[in-house]
Amino acid sequence: MGFWTFVKEEMQVIKERDPAIKKPIEVFLYPSFKAIVRHRFAHKLYLKKHYVLARMISQRTVRKTGIEIHPGATIGKGFFIDHGSGVVIGETAIIGDNVTLYQGVTLGGTGKEKGKRHPTIGDNVMIGSGAKVLGSFTVGENSQIGAGAVVLSEVPPNSTVVGVPGRVVKRDSIRIPRETMDQVHLPDPVMMQINELHEENTALREQISKLAKRFDELIKRK
């Protein structure tokens, strides 16, 4: 794929997912655009074992954009980072097509293990602001990771994950996350449990009240 074909594709990705853009030329100002262009070049050098030169490019990109992508990371088409500051993507991370990350996301490892130690992100996944996905496992396609979640284990396809540690709170959603870019209106399992406890407590109080009245009636009859 030629450079200008790639540029046009990246322009389309940003125009599709960021309503703030007004003119196509603005794409060249986006940290996400700069970071992914430089990563594509650094990744090619990395595959040819020019490790030092590849790392020099990636570290210069960090200083310029605030986005740290190890040159060894494999990234598919249609990748977009919204804002981008604080994003970290590890060496053995694999990212599928049409993935969206928000600022502060980490795709990291859990220690000094060897080999594949970073996550694999499926196609059409959206990861919200500040979320941390740590370890060598797969986040299934069409899934959403809520803002601030800490994901430490496998995520099935078509899932919504929230919380610390991350929990799957919704499965088999047919929505494609990049179509809505909604990282806010996700299920809140803690509030759901509180509501359930409140409903159970109300039902128990009603039963106790009925039993108390029944007891009073029995006492009066005696």
Architecture of the domain defined by 3-187: 3 Solenoid (2.160)
Comparison of pLDDT for 24 and 67, the residue scoring more: 67
pLDDT of 47 over the 80 cut: yes
pTM for the structure as a whole: 0.74
pLDDT at 111: 75
3-class secondary structure per residue, the chain: CCHHHHHHHHHHHHHHHCCCCCCHHHHHHCHHHHHHHHHHHHHHHHHCCCHHHHHHHHHHHHHHHCCEECCCCEECCCCEEECCCCCEECCCCEECCCCEEECCCEEECCCCCCCCCCCEECCCCEECCCCEEECCCEECCCCEECCCCEECCCECCCEEEECCCCEEEEECCCCCHHHHCCCCCCCCHHHHHHHHHHHHHHHHHHHHHHHHHHHHHHHHHC
> In this predicted model, what pLDDT tens digit does every residue of 148-200 receive, in sequence order?
999 999 999 998 888 888 788 766 655 555 555 555 555 666 666 677 787 88
More confident residue, 145 or 21: 145
Query: What integer is the mean pLDDT of 42-69?
Result: 94
Q: 62 versus 213: which is more confidently predicted?
A: 62
Q: Is the pLDDT of residue 204 over 90?
A: no
Q: What is the pLDDT of residue 104?
A: 93
Please report the pLDDT score of residue 172 as a whole number: 65
Q: What pLDDT, on a 0 to 100 scale, did the predictor assign at position 188?
A: 63
pLDDT tens, residue by residue, 89-126? 999 999 999 999 999 999 999 877 788 999 999 999 99
